Structure 1
């Protein structure tokens, strides 16, 4: 989820914790737990600072080790220690348990995005992405904000957020049913499906769809339960030519390939350079595929420039990176 949603979720958990007799309200443990849940709800996203380095490192590592099983426990111990430093009279066990819950919930809700997490590390580096909830879901954020406002108006925070989470559990079930219906409809239309990747949008009844069959890729969009096919590509394996092998040594290309589960490729040859491009098919927007990896090589197959990430026009791509002009 986005930073704002994680913050309000941390506040909500701090309010919910007041139902715990060991926490209560307006005492050192309550204050420490609120600190722990708010910081804990943010801690796994500390790897966002990798953006300051480069996109390749960020894409390869974001929601990776910081969202792993060992990291959850390490974060909980560190943040609990911080809470005890500020509120030494707090109940240590309950502070740790609520902090652990906040961190675990952060990782858990991220699994429902299309981006996903490597939450199973160290047992598996597989990306777990259920594709049910957008990174920013207006409904989830709004329900939390309403709960916070009701609390500020004098309602009991524990029962308020117990109600909020009952509503959200129902919401997740509805989203799951919606997604399953789309997948069932796709299987009726395309009999030889190998993989379906659904990416939710900010609109409640609109979804991005990428379908892989033995011979083709299909790109579609589901709107109000109706599936609209937008593009169709032949599924051509990436050839292991000298140009491709040289391109795959680039950090941006390598990061893209380690992350993207469905993509097509292009190789263009110009008089003085080659250009290799990999295009993620999950996020088609306004007739454009904005998540790409591109590398340019000279005629001796030396890497000249490269990029991976989100870009919404060719002009911006070339201007931003100062790539060799076509």
Structure 2
């Protein structure tokens, strides 16, 4: 989920914790748990700072180690130790319990996004992504904000957020059913589909589609049961060539390939350089595919520029690469 949703989730967990008699018995416990819940709801995303290095490092590591099983066990201990420095009289056991709940829920809700997490590490590096909830879901965020407002105006926080989370659980079940309905409709449209990626959008009834069949890639949208295919690409294996081999050594290309499950490729030859481009098919927006990896090589096959990330125009891409086309 996005940062704002994780913040309000932390506040909600702090309110829910008042159902715990030990937390509710004094203000020290309730205040420390609230602080710990807010921090615990944020700390797995500490790897966001990797963006300051470069996109390749960020892609390879975001929602990886920091969302793994060892991390879920470690973060509550770290949060408890940190918060107890400011609240030395707090109940350590219950502070740890609610810190653990906050961290666990952060990782748990992230697996329902299309991006997913490597939550099964170290047992598996596979990305777990159910793709039923958008990274920012207006309904989930609004329910949290509404619950916080009720709390501010005097509603009992424990029962308020217990009711809210019951509603959210039912909402998740509804989204799962909706996704299965889209999948069923899609298989009628593309019966030979081998791999189907159905990703949510900001709009409740609309989904992004990226489908792989034996011979083709399909990109489209679903609105309820209605399927619209926008693009169809021939599924061609990446060729074995000196250009591809040289490009594959680039960190941006390797990071992209480690992250993207469905993509097409292009090779261009210009007066002064070759260009290899990989295009993720999951994120079509207004006829454009913004998530790419690109590497440019001179005719001696030395890498002269590369980039991976979100680009919405060729002009911005060229500025990132610092190369002017012929």
* TM-score category of the 2 structures, normalised to the smaller one: over 0.9
Asked whether the 8 Å contact 1:47–1:66 carries over to 2, the reply is yes
Q: CA deviation at 1:320?
A: 3.1
Q: Is the 8 A contact 2:132 2:175 kept in 1?
A: yes
Spell out, residue by residue over 1:137-174, the C-alpha distance to the aligned partner (whole angstroms, 9 max, x if none): 11111100000000000000000000110110111111
Checking the alignment, whether the CA contact within 8 Å between 1:296 and 1:324 is kept in structure 2 is no
1:178-218 Cα offsets, whole Å, 9 max, x none, are 10001111112212211101111111111110001111100
The CA distance in 2 between the partners of 1:201 and 1:190, in whole Å, is 21
Moved more, 18-27 or 175-184: 18-27
In structure 1, what is the Cα distance between the partners aligned to 2:321 and 2:148? 43
Alignment of 1:18-37 (within 5 A): 18-24=18-24, 26-37=26-37
Aligned equivalents of 2:278 and 2:24: distance in 1? 54
Superimposed CA distance per residue, residues 252-285 of structure 1 (whole angstroms, 9 cap, x where no aligned partner): 0000000000000000111211000000000100
Q: Say which SS state the counterpart of residue 301 (structure 1) adopts.
A: coil
Deviation at 1:25, TM superposition (A): 5.7
Specify the alignment match of 2:113 in structure 1: 113
Answering whether residue 20 of structure 2 is matched by residue 7 of structure 1, we say: no
Counterpart CA distance in 1 for 2:99 and 2:211 is 39
Q: Secondary structure at the residue paired with 1:227?
A: strand
Q: Is the 8 A contact 1:274 1:298 kept in 2?
A: yes
**Structure 1 residues 291 and 90 mapped into 2: Cα distance closer, same or farther (>3 Å)?**
same
Contact 1:199–1:283 at 8 Å: present in 2 too?
Answer: no
Distance in structure 1 (CA, Å) of the matches to 2:240 and 2:255: 18
Match of residue 212 from structure 2: 212
- 2:173 and 2:96 mapped to 1: Cα distance? 29
Instruction: Determine the structure 1 residue equivalent to 2:94.
Output: 94
Equivalence for 1:253:
253
Q: Which residue of 2 aligns with 1:139?
A: 139
Contact 2:291 2:308 in 1 (8 A): yes
Give 3-state SS (helix, strand or coil) of 1:304's partner.
Answer: strand
Contact map agreement 2:189 2:227 (CA 8 A) in 1: no
1:294 aligns with 2:298: no
Q: How big is the alpha-carbon RMSD for the aligned residues of Structure 1 and Structure 2?
A: 0.9
Contact 1:247/1:297 (8 A) holds in 2: yes
The CA deviation at 1:7 is 0.2
Counterpart for residue 192 of structure 2? 192
Quick check: 1:279–1:292 contact (8 Å CA) kept in 2?
yes
Name the TM-score, length of structure 2 as normaliser.
0.98
- 187-196 or 263-272: bigger deviation: 187-196
Partner of 1:42: 42
Aligned mates of 2:245, 2:15 — CA distance in 1: 54
Return 30-39 or 315-324, whichever deviates more. 315-324
Matched, 1:280 2:290: no
Q: TM-score if structure 1 supplies the norm length?
A: 0.98
SS in 1 for 2:203: coil
Q: How does 1:231-242 map to 2 (within 5 A)?
A: 231-242=231-242
CA contact (8 A) 1:10 1:40 kept: yes
Distance, in Å, in 2 between the alignment partners of 1:85 and 1:225 is: 54
